[in-house]
Structure formats: structure tokens, C-alpha cells
């Protein structure tokens, strides 16, 4: 029997609950759900795949279909709000509500994952302990970080990384070692937390321009024009490059410094011609077009 309160992702719950109900009653189908919800039969699958979000009306409809009482309906609504939250603060707020609702069955790691993404320096500490002989000298380790962090921040970071099984103490040497860890930025539930984490790292990168000389940093930007097909290929090239970077650094036998590599690929203009959408109209080269904010078309310039 599917237990709603074991889930933190409403799409996973809907998928499992549907499969269980459908296995027991063939009439419980996508078509049946579509008729209850008032949409076409393909929409439910799009929701499960993350291609469509639930509106307030659909939250109520799905709660009636898949929840058995008011408590389950309230939890389901909070879970949807958690997964579809647009800000890190909102995500944390709904996560706390979900944790409070659960009967001591919460994944404690979920809260720790949010805490991990709250501060940029946790990842730095995790890398530092692979070569710095840390045995409890929090202040000294904090001074190794750029910009420096406090001894209390180091202490709480070490405790968090241990809870997440991302580092462990070697009983023979007394030093910490890196482990596989439990953090994955791919989880939909933590997307807003990851966005906040990335924003912190962008701020650190901006400060690095003044903190380090040109011989210690490599910063550049590139603007260019291309089409959607080329953009898709570029995204895959970036993914391959990241994998190559990870493979290369894994072969480093004696690391002695922590680095950050940031890669951003985003549009700097509207596409031309802009897609027709509802909204104000504007005139482009003598033709009336709808305003839009989508698409990666840019002018070429390289600034190093």
C-alpha cells in the first residue's frame, strides 16, 4: 500500500499511486484521470514527466483522486507547493511543513541537503580536507578558504558533511577523507536550493576579480549568435567538458588547492522573429511583432 507520507516529490507519488491503482483496477487509467481532471489524456503523462505543473484546481482534483482524508490532502498540497516553489525561502518553508506533518519518517538528509546548498563553502571544505591535515583546528582551516570563513562555520560545515556521509575520519591517520556523499543537484525538489547555491558562487566569482591577480585567475566571457540546433549542441559540449574536467582532476594525485570552474550559457536577446504571444506589440524592421523574452540569439564579441 502506497504511503503518501513517505514522499517528498509529488510526481513520484502520483506515478507509484497510479501504478498501484491501475494494477488492481484496469478501469483506473489515464483516460479516467483525464475525464476527472478535465484535460486531454496525454496531460497526466506530461505531469509525471515534469513537463507540466499542477495548478491550484488540479491540486484539488488530484487530491480527491489519490488522497483518502483531509490530512493527506493537506500534505499533498504542501508537497506540490514544495516541488513547484520559485524561491529557496519558499522551498524551505514548505519542506518544514512537510517534515512537521510526517510521523518521524522524514528523510533527515533532505533538510541537510538544503543546509548544504545554503552556503558555498561546504563544497570547499569537502575538497580542502582531501589534502589539508585537519584534526580539529577550525580557525586554521577557515583561513585556508578564500574568502576566509570563521572557525564556527568550519565546525558546522564539518558536522554537516559527516552527516551527509560526504567525508569521514580515517581511524588510522586521524585525518578526514572524501566519500561518495548523498548530494545530487538533479533532484527537482531541491532545484531552488541549487539556484541559490549557484548565485552564491557567482558572487564569489565576481569578488575573485579583485581578490586574485591575473596570474592566479582565468576569467573570460564570450557573446555569439547561433540557432536553436547549435545551442542544443553547445549544451552537450558543455556537459562533455564538465565530464572531462572531472575525469582529469580525479587523476590528480597530490592536490594542494581548491578551484572553482563556472560555466554559464544563457540568452542575451530575444529570438528573431519573436514568437507570437499575448502582450504588448512592438515594431521590428517595419513589422509589428509580439514582445517575447525567449531564445538564444546574440551578437558575437569575445572579451577576455
pLDDT, tens digit, for every residue of 219-267? 888 899 999 999 999 999 998 898 888 888 888 889 999 998 888 888 8
Return the pLDDT at 250.
81
Return the pLDDT at 191.
63
Residue 107 has pLDDT above 50, yes or no: no
Residue 96 has pLDDT above 90, yes or no: no
Residue 212 has pLDDT above 90, yes or no: no
pLDDT, tens digit, for every residue of 114-167? 778 888 999 899 999 989 999 899 999 999 999 999 999 999 999 999 988 889
Mean pLDDT in residue range 96-111: 58
| CA pair distance 182, 242, nearest whole angstrom | 20
Residue 5 has pLDDT above 50, yes or no: yes
DSSP 285: T
In the three-class reduction of DSSP (H, G, I as helix; E, B as strand; rest coil), residue 18 is classed as helix
Mean pLDDT in residue range 200-205: 83
pTM, full prediction: 0.57
Provide the grid cell at 243: 565530464
Residue 13 has pLDDT above 50, yes or no: yes
Provide the grid cell at 257: 588547492
| CA pair distance 203, 226, nearest whole angstrom | 28
Residues near 73 by Cβ (< 8 Å), separated by ≥ 6? 63, 64, 67
Q: What share of the chain has pLDDT > 70, as a percent?
A: 81
Residue 303 has pLDDT above 70, yes or no: no
DSSP 29: S
In the three-class reduction of DSSP (H, G, I as helix; E, B as strand; rest coil), residue 66 is classed as helix
Mean pLDDT in residue range 272-290: 58
| CA pair distance 224, 265, nearest whole angstrom | 11
156 versus 109: the higher-pLDDT residue is 156
| CA pair distance 216, 98, nearest whole angstrom | 45
Return the pLDDT at 184.
46
- Is the C-alpha dihedral spanning 279, 280, 284, 287 positive or negative? positive
C-alpha closest to that of 108 among 99, 121, 117: 99
b/e per residue 211-243 (b: at least 16 CB within 10 A) = eeeeeeeeeeeeeeeeeeeeeeeeeeeeeeeee
pLDDT, tens digit, for every residue of 29-66? 999 999 999 999 899 999 999 999 999 999 999 999 99
Return the pLDDT at 56.
95
Task: Give the pLDDT band of residue 91 (cuts 50, 70, 90).
Answer: confident
Domains, the chain, ranges and CATH? 4-103 (1.10.260), 107-215 (1.10.10), 220-303 (no CATH)
Q: How many CB atoms lie within 10 A of CB 33?
A: 23
pLDDT, tens digit, for every residue of 216-228? 888 888 899 999 9
Best-predicted range by mean pLDDT among 158-167, 202-211, 292-301?
A: 158-167
Return the pLDDT at 278.
56
CA-based R_g, the chain, Å: 24
Return the pLDDT at 283.
52
Return the pLDDT at 155.
96
pLDDT, tens digit, for every residue of 185-197? 445 455 666 677 7
Mean pLDDT of the chain: 81
* Run of H or E residues at 168: strand 167-169
Amino acid at each position: 500500500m502506497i504511503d503518501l507520507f513517505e514522499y517528498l516529490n509529488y510526481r513520484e507519488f502520483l506515478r507509484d499511486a497510479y501504478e498501484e491503482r491501475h494494477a488492481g483496477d484496469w478501469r483506473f487509467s489515464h483516460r479516467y484521470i483525464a475525464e476527472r481532471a478535465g484535460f486531454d489524456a496525454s496531460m497526466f503523462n506530461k505531469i509525471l514527466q515534469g513537463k507540466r505543473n499542477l495548478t491550484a484546481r488540479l491540486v484539488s482534483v488530484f487530491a480527491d483522486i489519490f488522497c483518502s482524508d483531509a490530512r493527506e490532502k493537506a500534505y499533498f498540497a504542501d508537497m506540490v507547493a514544495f516541488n513547484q516553489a520559485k524561491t529557496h525561502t519558499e522551498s524551505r518553508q514548505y519542506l518544514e511543513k512537510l517534515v512537521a506533518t510526517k510521523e518521524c519518517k522524514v528523510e533527515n538528509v533532505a533538510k541537510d541537503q538544503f543546509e548544504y546548498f545554503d552556503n558555498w563553502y561546504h563544497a570547499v571544505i569537502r575538497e580542502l580536507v582531501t589534502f589539508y591535515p585537519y584534526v580539529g583546528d577550525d580557525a586554521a582551516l577557515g583561513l585556508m578558504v578564500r574568502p576566509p570563513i570563521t572557525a564556527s562555520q568550519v565546525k558546522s560545515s564539518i558536522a554537516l558533511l559527516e552527516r551527509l556521509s560526504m567525508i569521514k575520519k580515517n581511524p588510522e591517520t586521524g585525518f578526514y577523507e572524501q566519500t561518495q556523499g548523498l548530494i545530487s543537484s538533479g533532484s527537482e525538489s531541491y532545484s531552488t536550493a541549487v539556484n541559490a547555491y549557484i548565485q552564491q558562487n557567482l558572487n564569489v566569482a565576481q569578488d575573485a576579480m579583485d581578490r586574485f591577480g591575473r596570474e592566479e585567475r582565468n576569467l573570460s566571457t564570450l557573446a555569439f549568435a547561433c540557432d536553436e540546433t547549435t545551442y542544443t549542441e553547445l549544451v552537450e559540449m558543455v556537459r562533455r567538458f564538465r565530464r572531462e574536467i572531472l575525469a582529469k582532476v580525479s587523476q590528480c594525485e597530490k592536490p594542494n588547492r581548491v578551484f572553482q570552474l563556472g560555466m554559464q550559457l544563457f540568452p542575451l536577446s530575444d529570438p528573431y522573429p519573436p514568437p507570437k504571444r499575448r502582450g504588448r506589440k512592438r515594431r521590428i524592421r517595419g513589422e509589428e511583432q509580439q514582445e517575447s523574452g525567449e531564445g538564444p540569439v546574440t551578437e558575437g564579441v569575445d572579451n577576455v
